[in-house]
Chain A
């Protein structure tokens, strides 16, 4: 599609061949140096001393517990934000009410806050010196320097992902189909499960994989609330930091390569969803012109 568009450009609306080549070359050099080389270097450094040491990095109990904690954190934080995102999108995209745009801005707030500040606010609430600190200590509940704090900080930094994806999508789709289902006698929940959800499932998946990538990779916010207790409260990114600071570069990059792999899978799924929705839009347009 893009190629045919470029080909149809007349000489008057494109640049001389040498300019095109120069600009393409410059852009690719920049992308190569700034994106591709760092990505390759992660895998190169991880495998620098061979596959044996690489594999050994993952048999370390601390690494295994970091992997486990990362998976647990994402498994709690992502579904929580999924439910929130769907509820928020339903309220915001399907109803007109006062303060709607303020609500949208508030939902986007966590993206504007520095990750370190995001961690700090939970320390101020639940830490030993925090608002609820004395009460929590009395009841022997640990949130900061424990798993609940890590989950809370992760929920905060991934808060807007699903909602931000669904609100514009549901606004664009409109509510005609849902209204038709209701008129035909479907209940509210039936309408949601059988009409709304199938319509938004790809947008939902898009938001979820981005939230998941961030949840598994978050560093700043989690670092503040975790307390860095080895084998207990270290996620993979925190484990990477510890190994790196101990000059265990193979171990650090081996764990980092797991996260880089996750990033590549995320990008692949994301591109697939974008490609699919572009193709659907193209088909819709073709059907519209044929009729």
Chain B
């Protein structure tokens, strides 16, 4: 096969050449620099940096909080998509547009807003403070939300909120009503129809949304650092480790941790591409 199929349209060399040039300059070359820089580290130094107990603690916090936020969004995302597609209510178009707010709102703005809201004297945090009826449910000190690991989960839930909604919404809108009518006429209850007819069609979209949210949460920085409290071994996230190594001019250390993050990101990207391929094939077969 030739590199390119013949076409009457002009401009391939120019557009392709420019695409490759700009892609190499902005993305490929800098990422290569990161990988090459790592080869300058000897293995023992690399390993001692990435397996430092304080750094390992950040992996746990980052993965745990990201996983939890993605799981929360799996359920709430399905709920919001379901309500937006199926039920009429006033202001629906506005709510639909607002779902994308976390993509449009700068992460630093989200960060300071959430930190202020969930602080013990904030609009939401005060309901869970020590001595309040809700707070007493969680013990004498109440339930501190901001400046705790749970604050990280809150921030990550906010920034990744649109993913599941936006992947599930179109699939849900495309489900043919006839399928549900057929199931109903065969005696299925609503719950059975949801579980056995609707949910199986939604799985690929749900999983794709879930992994997109998870991948975004792993790398998130701006919204988290304000609400996290950033206590070593407790509420530090991995991207913050890169920043603090850089602040100490430890470029090799920062690079080592960045490589770990990059490998995880690429693995997730591959998984997401696989999921989208699977999901497209499933939908293709149905139509």
A267-B100 CB under 8 A given contacts A30-B76, A116-B242:
yes
Q: Are A249 and B1 in contact (CB under 8 A)?
A: no
Give, as a whole number of angstroms, the nearest-CB distance from B114 to chain A. 6
Stretch at the interface among A103-111, A134-142, A279-287: A103-111
Q: Are A267 and B10 in contact (CB under 8 A)?
A: no
Question: Who on chain B is nearest to A100 by CB?
Answer: B4
Question: Who on chain B is nearest to A88 by CB?
Answer: B19
Q: Are A38 and B190 in contact (CB under 8 A)?
A: no
Instruction: Among A130, A156, A182, A223, point to the contact of B9 (Cβ < 8 A).
Output: A182
Q: Are A125 and B30 in contact (CB under 8 A)?
A: yes
Q: Are A112 and B265 in contact (CB under 8 A)?
A: yes
A6 within 8 A of B: yes
Q: Are A114 and B109 in contact (CB under 8 A)?
A: no
A179 within 8 A of B: yes
A94-B95 CB under 8 A given contacts A39-B105, A252-B112:
no
Q: How many residues of B contact A (CB 8 A)?
A: 94
> A49 to chain B: which residues have CB within 8 Å?
none
A115 within 8 A of B: yes
Which bracket fits the contact residues of A?
35 or more
A71 within 8 A of B: no
Q: Are B258 and A220 in contact (CB under 8 A)?
A: no
A31-B12 CB under 8 A given contacts A109-B31, A112-B268, A263-B105:
no
Q: Are B4 and A27 in contact (CB under 8 A)?
A: no
Question: Who on chain B is nearest to A38 by CB?
Answer: B113
Query: Could you tell me the dominant secondary structure of chain A's interface residues?
Result: helix
Instruction: Among A36, A41, A109, A220, point to the contact of B98 (Cβ < 8 A).
Output: A36
Question: Who on chain A is nearest to B218 by CB?
Answer: A114
A36-56: CB near B (< 8 Å → 1, else 0) gives 111101100100000000000
Instruction: Among B11, B98, B190, B269, point to the contact of A90 (Cβ < 8 A).
Output: B11
Q: How far is the CA of A216 from the CA of B104 in the complex (A)?
A: 10
**B residues 26-62 touching A (CB-CB < 8 Å):** 26-31, 33-34, 37
Q: How far is the CA of A23 from the CA of B23 in the complex (A)?
A: 45
B255-278: CB near A (< 8 Å → 1, else 0) gives 100100110011011000100000
A12 within 8 A of B: yes
A94-B255 CB under 8 A given contacts A117-B261, A256-B108, A260-B105:
no
Question: Who on chain A is nearest to B242 by CB?
Answer: A116
**B residues 79-122 touching A (CB-CB < 8 Å):** 79-80, 82-89, 92-93, 95-114, 116-117
A116-B219 CB under 8 A given contacts A34-B157, A106-B23:
yes
Q: Are B123 and A98 in contact (CB under 8 A)?
A: no
Measuring CB to CB, which residues of chain A are less than 8 angstroms from any residue of chain B?
2-3, 6-7, 9-10, 12-16, 19-20, 23-24, 26-28, 30-31, 33-39, 41-42, 45, 83-84, 87-88, 90-92, 94-98, 103, 105-110, 112-117, 120-125, 127, 129-131, 152, 155-156, 159, 175, 178-179, 182-183, 188, 191-192, 210, 213, 216-220, 223-224, 236-238, 240-241, 244, 249, 252-253, 256, 259-260, 262-264, 266-268, 270-271
20 additional contacts (CB under 8 A) given A34-B158, A120-B246, A244-B112: A6-B86, A20-B87, A35-B99, A41-B123, A87-B15, A88-B15, A90-B11, A98-B1, A103-B23, A107-B19, A117-B242, A117-B262, A120-B254, A125-B30, A127-B251, A131-B33, A183-B8, A256-B113, A259-B106, A263-B109
**Sampled A-B contacts (17; CB under 8 Å):** A10-B181, A13-B177, A27-B84, A31-B99, A41-B123, A88-B15, A91-B19, A115-B220, A116-B221, A131-B33, A188-B10, A191-B10, A237-B108, A260-B105, A262-B104, A263-B106, A263-B109
